[in-house]
Amino acid sequence: MAKNPLFSTYRQGENRVTASMLAVFERINLDVLAQLLWSAARSESLPFVEFRNQLGAPRSVPDASIRGSFHFLFEVKTARNSLSAGQLRRHSESLDKKAKLRQLFVLTPDWSEPVAVLESGVKTVKWFNFVHLSRSIDVLLADESQLVSDQERFLLRELQSLFVADGLVSPDDVVVVAARNAYGEYARFGAYVCQPGRTFRSGISRVGFYADGEVKPEVPTIIGWRDGCRFDSRSAARLTSSPREVDRKIGALIRAMLTSGARQSGTTLQVFLLSAPDDGVLTLRLARPVSRDAAHDGWIQKQQYTRSAWLARAQTLADLRAPASEEV
């Protein structure tokens, strides 16, 4: 069958991203595709496949389909908190019951698995976000043992560029927050807690802490997120009994912060669960704190955005800009 156009003609964000992603997937080696999906969502290897975009189904219209001796469906969202449990249930009914392996892949910009995945009750769902997929591409292309052609490298980098252009993955992957108290809370509880409704760019994956005139050396990865968390004993009990790991961790965090007096009962807050300061894999450890200079005394009020690579080489805040080789 004819392949989908490489550059999507769709104008709507979700359709454009889905169509472009599918066009890249069908132009790369199946072993490469399998490695990407395994890395992003721990999926199985892929046999012979058929790619279809915006397929019709009896009760719903999933965004894309890959079929073979298995049947994979894809649901793609480009806005956070926009996934519907009912939609996932309807999509799951469209999976081929005769296929040996049936999977509904859900791709969203959320920092942690959306609540709708659990609420759907669908066992075949595999969720990942655009940062997961983009990082999987980076890992794959950096692995010299992987046989990836120049064309495949070009296509996968173009797909990453599309994610960046649509704000789904940010080249500035670190948000640096003012952290007079927050840095101590992170060291103690492994989390960043701030006011509810505070906005952050989509596509960030790490949090940096600015306190005492410097960016602190620990730059952890965001591993979970919830807005509107009620800090009281009832909420903590409900969350710690949840089947979702991220909810259990947030429940334990609320209980620990209330018990220690770090937070007052009755408040509603936004919570980022972060990798631990001593996590050698997920937490970027700078060789030294990044100190301020005379030109950057007022560098941060609420938050600033920068890149992991720039932080890793910076000595002062003046170094947090693109070197000539990276300027565009």
Residue 248 domain-assigned (yes or no): yes
Amino acid at 4: N
What string of pLDDT tens digits covers the 328 residues of the chain?
445 545 555 556 688 888 888 889 889 887 788 788 878 876 555 454 566 666 665 567 777 776 666 788 899 999 888 999 999 999 999 988 888 778 899 999 998 889 899 899 998 899 999 988 998 898 889 888 878 899 999 999 999 988 988 889 888 999 999 888 999 999 999 999 999 999 998 889 999 999 888 999 999 999 999 999 999 999 999 999 998 889 999 999 999 999 999 999 999 999 999 999 999 888 999 999 999 876 666 667 678 999 998 999 999 988 886 554 454 4
Give pLDDT, residue 263.
95
Residue 324 domain-assigned (yes or no): no
The pTM of the full predicted model, rounded to 2 decimals, is 0.74
Domains contained in the chain, number: 2
Give pLDDT, residue 51.
63
Among the candidates 165, 196, 223, a domain finishes at 165
Do 22 and 158 reside in the same domain of the chain? yes
Phi-psi region of 160 (alpha: psi -120 to 50; beta: other; left: phi over 0): alpha
Do 105 and 242 reside in the same domain of the chain? no
Written as six digits, the tokens of 225 are 């997120």
Do 233 and 134 reside in the same domain of the chain? no
- Decide: 17 and 32 in contact? Cβ < 8 Å: no
Do 234 and 186 reside in the same domain of the chain? yes
Do 132 and 150 reside in the same domain of the chain? yes
Q: How far apart are CA 296 and CA 315, in angstroms?
A: 13
Give pLDDT, residue 10.
52
Residue 275 domain-assigned (yes or no): yes
Among the candidates 116, 137, 165, a domain finishes at 165
Residue 326 domain-assigned (yes or no): no
Length, in residues, of the chain: 328
Residue 223 domain-assigned (yes or no): yes
Give pLDDT, residue 49.
55
Give pLDDT, residue 250.
97
Phi, then psi, of 57 in degrees rounded to 5: -140, 155
Residue 314 domain-assigned (yes or no): yes
Q: What is the DSSP string of 286-297?
A: -SS-EE--GGGT
Do 179 and 142 reside in the same domain of the chain? no
Residue 243 domain-assigned (yes or no): yes
Give pLDDT, residue 67.
63
Do 218 and 266 reside in the same domain of the chain? yes
CATH number for the domain harbouring residue 38: 3.40.91
Phi-psi region of 138 (alpha: psi -120 to 50; beta: other; left: phi over 0): alpha
Give pLDDT, residue 290.
93
Do 183 and 96 reside in the same domain of the chain? no
Do 161 and 18 reside in the same domain of the chain? yes
Cα dihedral 224, 227, 232, 236 sign: negative
Residue 213 domain-assigned (yes or no): yes
Give pLDDT, residue 327.
47
Among the candidates 135, 165, 195, a domain finishes at 165
Q: How far apart are CA 137 and CA 19, in angstroms?
A: 18
Do 81 and 143 reside in the same domain of the chain? yes
Q: What residues make up the domain containing 296?
A: 174-319
Do 65 and 113 reside in the same domain of the chain? yes
Do 213 and 245 reside in the same domain of the chain? yes
For residue 125, what is the enclosing H or E element?
Answer: strand 125-129
